[in-house]
Amino acid sequence: MNQRIPAHIRNEILKIKSRKDIYSTSKIIKEKGLNTVCSSSRCPNLNLCFSNKTATFLLLGDKCTRKCPFCNIGYDEKPQIDLSEPAKIAYAVKSLKLNHAVITMVTRDDLEDGGASIVAAAVKEIKSNTDCGIVEVLTSDFKGSKKSINAVLDAGVNIFGHNIETVERFYKTVRPESSYELSLNILSFVKKEYPHIQTKSGIMVGFGENQEDVFKTISDIALTNVDFITIGQYMRPSIENIEVKEYVSLKTFIEYGKYAKSRGIKNVFSAPLVRSSFGAEKFYNNSIKLN
């Protein structure tokens, strides 16, 4: 049976800075027909982020070629491609006056390069046509294609993100079409071959994992020499998705954060509503001050 959302999480979701800014952010996104992971994944932080005039742009459409049971993004074997997406995203970045842009993507196993060329084009558009200084990407695994990964990294990315999402024990349940080992190898490859580019990964808790599972996953991620890790509470986006087995306590999130630090990960963001791109600019700026 799905558990009731605790009061402290409900209260955080309700924190809104400005409804006017939510509207203006939505207007810019709708004006160009853009997709955001905020809307497509039914992120609980949507209103808070939009009120701060930030959003995580979703490339390659709003349908994915994989069916991850935890995710709300729709499925299609061969979704359409809008080749004008990169230019439209650059327009939105410029209109919102973003200093730190975050781009993510749906998984496109139907494409030879997994969609890497579109992601690379978006990075280049932002770098060339806006004043945005930091471009962060959150990519699929590209089926492990180094050629695709290199194409994205060579476009001028500042932060490369790839999420582990869950502990190894639950991969077959939560990410049946993905590989725990492959995702770790991707993070290791990027840091080894592109040491000047910062790497980032994230996990969710609440699927029924125990502390030992989480500590092992954090340790495995730490071995990739990742620069940033996010740890957040899984929240069921719809009744079609996996149920929440546990709402993890704030104390436990603090313990997970401390453990990540003890494993050598310098920049850790661990709290219930933390998502891989939530507060990305602040997270990055704080890392500069701390390091």
What DSSP string describes 245-260?
Answer: -----HHHHHHHHHHH
The verdict on whether residue 132 carries a ligand-binding annotation is no
User: How big is the CA angle at 33 (ends 28 and 38), to the nearest 5 degrees?
Assistant: 70
pLDDT tens per residue, range 55-111: 678 899 889 999 999 998 889 998 888 999 999 999 989 988 989 999 999 999 999
Distance CA 143, CA 119 (A): 15
Provide the CATH number for the domain around residue 99.
3.20.20.70
Within a domain: 4: no
The verdict on whether residue 71 carries a ligand-binding annotation is yes
Identify the band that residue 238 occupies on the pLDDT scale cut at 50, 70 and 90: confident
Within a domain: 262: yes
The verdict on whether residue 201 carries a ligand-binding annotation is no
User: How big is the CA angle at 25 (ends 87 and 231), to the nearest 5 degrees?
Assistant: 90
How many angstroms separate the most distant Cα atoms in the chain?
Answer: 50
Within a domain: 3: no
> Structural domain tally of the chain?
1
> Is residue 249 predicted with pLDDT exceeding 50?
yes
The verdict on whether residue 24 carries a ligand-binding annotation is no
Within a domain: 1: no
- Contact by Cβ (8 Å): 184, 221: yes
Which pTM does this prediction carry? 0.89
Give the range of the structural domain holding residue 138, as residue numbers without chain letter.
Answer: 18-290
The larger pLDDT score, comparing residue 140 to residue 52, is at: 140
Within a domain: 57: yes
Within a domain: 10: no
Within a domain: 12: no
Within a domain: 6: no
